[in-house]
Amino acid sequence: MQGIIVLIVYALLMVGATKAFTKREDGGESFHVGHRNMGMVVSAMSIAATWIWAPALFTSAEKAYSNGIAGLFWFLVPNILCLILFIPFARKIRRDMPDGITLSGYMHKKYKSEPVKRVYLFQLTALTILSTAVQLLAGGKILSTATGLPLWAMTIVLAVIAFSYSQISGIKASVFTDAIQMVFLLLACAIFVPWALKLNGGAAAIQIAGAGGEYGHLFLEKGLEVFLGFGLPTAIGLFAGPFGDQCFWQRAFSIRKDRIGRSFGLGAVMFAVVPLSMGILGFIAAGTGFIPTDTGMVNFELIKAIFPAWVIIPFMFMLISGLLSTVDSNLCAIASLTTDLKATARLKDADQIKASKASMIVLLIVGILIANIPGLTVTHMFLFYCTLRATTMLPTMLTLMNVRLTASGVVVGVLTAFLVGLPIFAYGTISNLSAYKTAGSLITVLSSGMVALVISRVLKREAVE
């Protein structure tokens, strides 16, 4: 019953706030990028909330619980640095294409090539689908446990809630509700972590599980195992994260031009609070000998075990906020990607918005189906789609750095990453083989850029001759 009440209250709050503080958008461009003048603080909160996906809430706690300080370090630090690394590229794309909406649209404009646009649309769309599925999977598991209702029903409910407010005003609804969700997240962290420390021996529990455990050193024995099997592929995927995610390019086009850098910088700081707090809960669980039923949900189970029963309500509010902030951003991202379809581009504004909303519904249906595949885990899906994002990272960076590539070079480079790097990584993940996961990650991120450079130089040389 508690879980159902939380869902109803949450849905009413998000829809009510969206209707009260934003207006329904009738223009296609305003639906996707607002009026390109969003402020620093609200944008920073939106960036942070969008980056707080299921792994930030659960994988951080799981890795801290299972792999101590090494596990948390290799999840937390790359997560923060990637947003900082993204800043100069976000500024550059806005200067190069002030009227832009999507990364795929930018690459199409630069190379005047339909194949380039198509490979980017495929990568951005696939990432959006998998990201949505993993949020629904994690949220559905939590709510299924809390309500006793089946997983499939909870994934549908979460999807309906996210759509109910996102379709009102597009990116404005997403950014505004993200800011509200971020407030819930920060308040929950400020309450639960000090309280849990007070109840469980404070710093002593963290010392036992973190620096004092077998994973207390980053590059010695067990710490090195964590680096090779989790840290390196995670770092590669996370550094590629914003570069292969339309959610962040969409915000680069929506924020006031002179506030882009400060917005992403402040967003990185705000984001860091949440996975660090969840990691501390993982340390506490390990240091006190707590044995969870599912290590992937160790923070949720710890909260249920040590706090009064009523505490689960605000904690669930925090979890739902973190998960749905990414889902609503994905809905706006998939809607914006429809602007790159020729059939949609020819439509009038009202019909463009209808097409965008239809794409939102299709995204949620596919996400629900994937989330309900038996045996899927949040961590495995996180690692896979982190690597998927890396397929376009280097061609994108090189293009924004004004390195002269050819359209054919970009296409073949990205396809090489898809067809060679991703299968190796997938095999390593399924078989739990660290060497294959690491090799797959490196091949994925490096091959796209190296192949693009080599082919571009060969074609240019042939053209000269």
Summarised one tens digit per residue, pLDDT across range 353-393 is 888 899 999 999 999 999 998 877 776 676 677 778 889 99
User: Is residue 216 scored above 60 in pLDDT?
Assistant: no
| Gap between the Cα atoms of 73 and 53, Å rounded | 17
Q: CB within 8 A of 461, min separation 6: which ones?
A: none
Ordered domains of the chain (ranges, CATH): 2-375 (1.20.1730.10)
- In this prediction, residue 215 has a pLDDT band, given cuts at 50, 70 and 90, of low
- In this prediction, residue 415 has a pLDDT band, given cuts at 50, 70 and 90, of very high
The pLDDT tens digits of the residues spanning 130-139 come to 989 988 988 8
Q: Tell me, what's the pLDDT at 289?
A: 81
Q: Radius of gyration over alpha carbons of the chain, in Å?
A: 22
User: Is residue 218 scored above 70 in pLDDT?
Assistant: no
User: Is residue 219 scored above 70 in pLDDT?
Assistant: no
- Cα separation values, 76 from 45, 72, 235, 345, Å: 18, 6, 9, 40
**Average pLDDT of the chain, as a whole number:** 85
- Cα separation values, 350 from 25, 171, 452, Å: 9, 16, 39
- In this prediction, residue 464 has a pLDDT band, given cuts at 50, 70 and 90, of low
| Gap between the Cα atoms of 292 and 283, Å rounded | 13
Q: Tell me, what's the pLDDT at 162?
A: 92
Mean pLDDT of 231-246: 83
Mean pLDDT of 48-63: 84
User: Is residue 178 scored above 70 in pLDDT?
Assistant: yes
Q: Tell me, what's the pLDDT at 99?
A: 93
Q: Specify the range with the lowest mean pLDDT, choosing from 109-113, 175-179, 299-303, 457-461.
A: 457-461
Mean pLDDT of 280-289: 84
Helices (H) and strands (E) in the chain, counts: 23, 0
Q: Tell me, what's the pLDDT at 455?
A: 93
Nearest to 175 by CA among 55, 331, 28, 320: 331
Nearest to 164 by CA among 174, 152, 150, 178: 174
Q: Which two tokens stand for residue 257?
A: 């031009």
Neighbouring C-beta atoms of residue 404, cutoff 10 Å:
11
| Gap between the Cα atoms of 356 and 341, Å rounded | 11
Mean pLDDT of 125-148: 87
Neighbouring C-beta atoms of residue 187, cutoff 10 Å:
13
The structure's pTM equals: 0.87
User: Is residue 212 scored above 60 in pLDDT?
Assistant: no
User: Is residue 213 scored above 70 in pLDDT?
Assistant: no
User: Is residue 49 scored above 80 in pLDDT?
Assistant: yes
User: Is residue 426 scored above 60 in pLDDT?
Assistant: yes
User: Is residue 101 scored above 70 in pLDDT?
Assistant: yes
- Amino acid letter for position 77: V
| Gap between the Cα atoms of 295 and 110, Å rounded | 46
